[in-house]
Structure 1
Amino acid sequence: MKKFLCIVLFISVAIACKSTSAVSTKLDNKTERILKGNFTMTAVDFPGSDFLNVTSFYIADSKCFVGSDWSFVSNNNKGEMALTSLSTSCKEFSSPITWYLNKDGKFVLKIINDYKAKEVNNGFVLDIINVTESSFQLVDQINVAGQTKDITYSFQRK
């Protein structure tokens, strides 16, 4: 009987200590279908944006993303993003992406570049707000002088 209780206790502890993922992978397919298509990033807004430089997605200054083209394919959660040089201080950049929307209202993004998606171990988890058939916004959090502030990326359907 003691062995049986020990085994039950061990299994209970093992189940209770099961690790959980920090990001839900359950999909919000309805919203994903709304995002299917081609979009242009029309604005990047955050407190102090006139005075501060923020590197977005570890790629370039946030201002360089204004005018960037993004495509989202909802049936396989792939797409592409491309920065076109509107300024001499901005470099051109393009990359395949993978993305999905989870049931927690988070937009999960991986910039693949020259790798396979499964080889990319980091990505971005952003809030998605104001979703319509023609536009949406992604919101990330940044550290500005020791304070957490929102940076908002606005997209418009092409």
Structure 2
Amino acid sequence: MKKLILLCLAISLVSCGASKTVRVSKKVIKGDWVLNSVTYNQAGNYNVTLLNDASKACFEGSTWQFVPNNNTGVYSINDASCATGERHFVFTIQEVDAETGLYDFLLKPTDEKHKSETNQGFRLKLATLSDDTMQWQQTVSVAGSTLTLNMNFSKQ
């Protein structure tokens, strides 16, 4: 009887683990990335602050490091005309639909000890992820209409 209970418990723990898509995604995302460009799905100039931190211009050229075994990372703003330096975050890759393989990327800014002062995070669509490119999409409201931001990364 004890063995049966332990077997059921082990099966339930394994079934609650991350899906294969998420596990593979974590392996691919591991390492160093550069945010090459931020584009919009509509023409125009927009004054958008990304991640409640800095402008599009400040984020372009920023470097990112992802450590999936503890879901942490750090990005650095490198543009001298911006507030430069490292920013820490925790992240989660969350599968939205097992059949389509669509998933979201949840990012929460933190301090160096991975504690959040505001407990505020950001949900981004992980639209593309390959061994050398990644794209996040975020939908925001601008002047009563929706705008999709595309954040385009390349792996270093």
- What is the TM-score of this pair, normalised by structure 1? 0.75
- The secondary structure found in structure 1 opposite 2:58 is helix
Q: 1:48 to 1:92 in 2, by over 3 A?
A: farther
The equivalent residue for 1:149 is 147
* Amino-acid identity (%): 25
Q: Give the aligned partner of residue 68 of structure 2.
A: 74
Bigger Rg, structure 1 or 2: 1
Structure 1 residues 143, 112: closer, same or farther in 2, change over 3 A?
same
In 2: Cα distance, 1:57 partner to 1:48 partner: 21
- Residues 61, 29 of structure 1: CA spacing in aligned structure 2 closer, same or farther, 3 A cutoff? same
Residue type at the aligned position of 2:95: K
Deviation digits for residues 61-120 of structure 1 (CA, Å, limit 9, x no counterpart): 11210000000011111111110125x3x2213211111201110001011135643654
Aligned to 2:134: 136
Q: 1:7-46, aligned counterparts within 5 Å?
A: 28-46=22-40
Distance 1:61 1:67 in 2: 12
The offset of 1:135, in angstroms, is 0.8
Q: CA RMSD in A?
A: 2.0
Number of aligned residues: 131
Q: Is the 8 A contact 2:141 2:147 kept in 1?
A: yes
SS for the counterpart of 1:75 is: coil
Greater strand proportion: 2
- Choose the corresponding residue for 1:106, options 99, 104, 107: 104
Q: How high is the TM-score relative to the length of structure 2?
A: 0.76
Change (3 A) 1:93 1:58: farther
Distance 1:92 1:119 in 2: 20
